[in-house]
Amino acid sequence: MSSPAPASAPSLFAHGVASGDPLPDAIVLWTRVTPTPRATPGSGVGPAVSVRWEISELNDFSLVADSGSLTTGPSRDHTIKVDANGLKPATDYYFRFFAGTHESPVGRTRTAPAPDSDPGELRFGVVSCANWQAGYFTSYRHLAERGDLDAIIHLGDYLYEYQPGKYSMGHSNRDVRRHEPPREIVSLADYRERHGQYKTDPDLQALHAAVPFIVTWDDHEVCDGNWANGAFEHQKNEGSFAARREAAQRAYDEWMPVRISGTAVVGDGMRMYRRLQFGTLADLSMLDLRTYRSERVEPEDPAIDDAGRTITGARQLGWLEESLSTTPARWKFIGNPVMVAPVLLPPRPKAEQYALSQTVSFTPLEPSAPNTDVWDGYTADRKRLLNHLVEDQIEDVVFLSGDVHTAWANDVPTEGGTPVATELVCSSITSNNVDDFVGAAPRTLSLSLEAAIQTENPHVRFVNLDDHGYCVLQVTKAKVQMDWFAISDRADRNATSRKLTSWTVASGTPRVQPTTRAILA
Residue 245 pLDDT exceeds 60: yes
Residue 460 pLDDT exceeds 50: yes
Query: According to the model, what pLDDT value does residue 238 have?
Result: 94
Residue 521 lies in a domain: no
What's the CA gap between 156 and 120, in Å, rounded?
A: 28
Same domain flag for 73 and 136: no
What's the CA gap between 450 and 443, in Å, rounded?
A: 10
- The residues that bridge with 71 in the sheet, in sequence order, are 50
* Between residues 237 and 354, the one the model is more confident about: 237
**Interacting residues of 98 by C-beta distance below 8 A, sequence separation 6+:** 51, 52, 53, 104
pLDDT tens readout for residues 264-282:
999 988 999 999 999 999 9
Q: For the residues of 346-397, what is the DSSP string, one character each? A: PP--HHHHHHHHHHT-SS---TT---TTSGGG-HHHHHHHHHHHHHTT---E
pLDDT tens readout for residues 22-44:
999 999 999 999 999 999 999 99
Per-residue confidence at 518, pLDDT binned at 50, 70, 90?
very low
Q: How far lies 348's CA from each of 360, 365, 372, 445, 453, in Å?
A: 15, 10, 19, 11, 10
Which CATH number goes with the domain that contains 61? 2.60.40.380
pTM, entire model: 0.95
Range of the domain at 56: 1-111
Query: According to the model, what pLDDT value does residue 366 have?
Result: 57
Q: Average pLDDT for residues 178-198, to the nearest whole number?
A: 98
Residue 186 lies in a domain: yes
Query: According to the model, what pLDDT value does residue 442 have?
Result: 65
Same domain flag for 78 and 192: no
Same domain flag for 470 and 395: yes
Which of 65, 93, 111 is where one domain is finished? Answer: 111
Same domain flag for 119 and 107: no
Per-residue confidence at 91, pLDDT binned at 50, 70, 90?
very high
Residue 274 lies in a domain: yes
Residue 78 lies in a domain: yes
Amino acid letter, 424: L
Query: According to the model, what pLDDT value does residue 7 have?
Result: 42
Residue 348 lies in a domain: yes
Phi-psi label, residue 23: left if phi above 0, alpha if psi -120 to 50, beta otherwise: beta
Query: According to the model, what pLDDT value does residue 441 have?
Result: 65
In the chain, the number of structural domains is 2
Q: For the residues of 442-483, what is the DSSP string, one character each? A: TTTTHHHHHHHHHHH-TTEEEEESS--EEEEEEE-SSEEEEE
What's the CA gap between 126 and 143, in Å, rounded?
A: 10
Element (H, E) at 318: helix 314-326
Spatial contact of 234 and 247, defined as CB atoms under 8 Å apart: no
pLDDT tens readout for residues 331-377:
999 999 999 999 988 777 777 777 777 776 545 455 567 889 999 99
Same domain flag for 339 and 460: yes
Which CATH number goes with the domain that contains 448? 3.60.21.70
Same domain flag for 55 and 176: no
Query: According to the model, what pLDDT value does residue 10 have?
Result: 44
Residue 343 lies in a domain: yes
* Between residues 217 and 520, the one the model is more confident about: 217
Same domain flag for 62 and 125: no
Please state, rounded to an integer, the average pLDDT across all residues of the chain: 93
Same domain flag for 103 and 250: no
Query: According to the model, what pLDDT value does residue 445 have?
Result: 76
**Cα three-residue angle 315-321-323, rounded to 5 degrees:** 100
Residue 73 lies in a domain: yes
Query: According to the model, what pLDDT value does residue 428 have?
Result: 98
Which of 95, 111, 127 is where one domain is finished? Answer: 111
pLDDT tens readout for residues 436-455:
887 766 677 788 889 989 99
Which of 88, 111, 134 is where one domain is finished? Answer: 111
What's the CA gap between 116 and 29, in Å, rounded?
A: 25
Per-residue confidence at 521, pLDDT binned at 50, 70, 90?
very low
Spatial contact of 257 and 20, defined as CB atoms under 8 Å apart: yes
Same domain flag for 129 and 105: no
Residue 519 lies in a domain: no
Same domain flag for 94 and 140: no
Q: Please state the three-class secondary structure of 131-197 as a single string.
A: CHHHCCCHHHHHHHCCCCCCEEEECCCCCCCCCCCCCCECCCCECCCCCCCCCCCCCHHHHHHHHHH
Same domain flag for 135 and 27: no
Percent of all residues in the chain with a pLDDT value above 70, rounded to a whole number? 94
Residue 129 pLDDT exceeds 70: yes
Per-residue confidence at 167, pLDDT binned at 50, 70, 90?
confident
Same domain flag for 138 and 281: yes
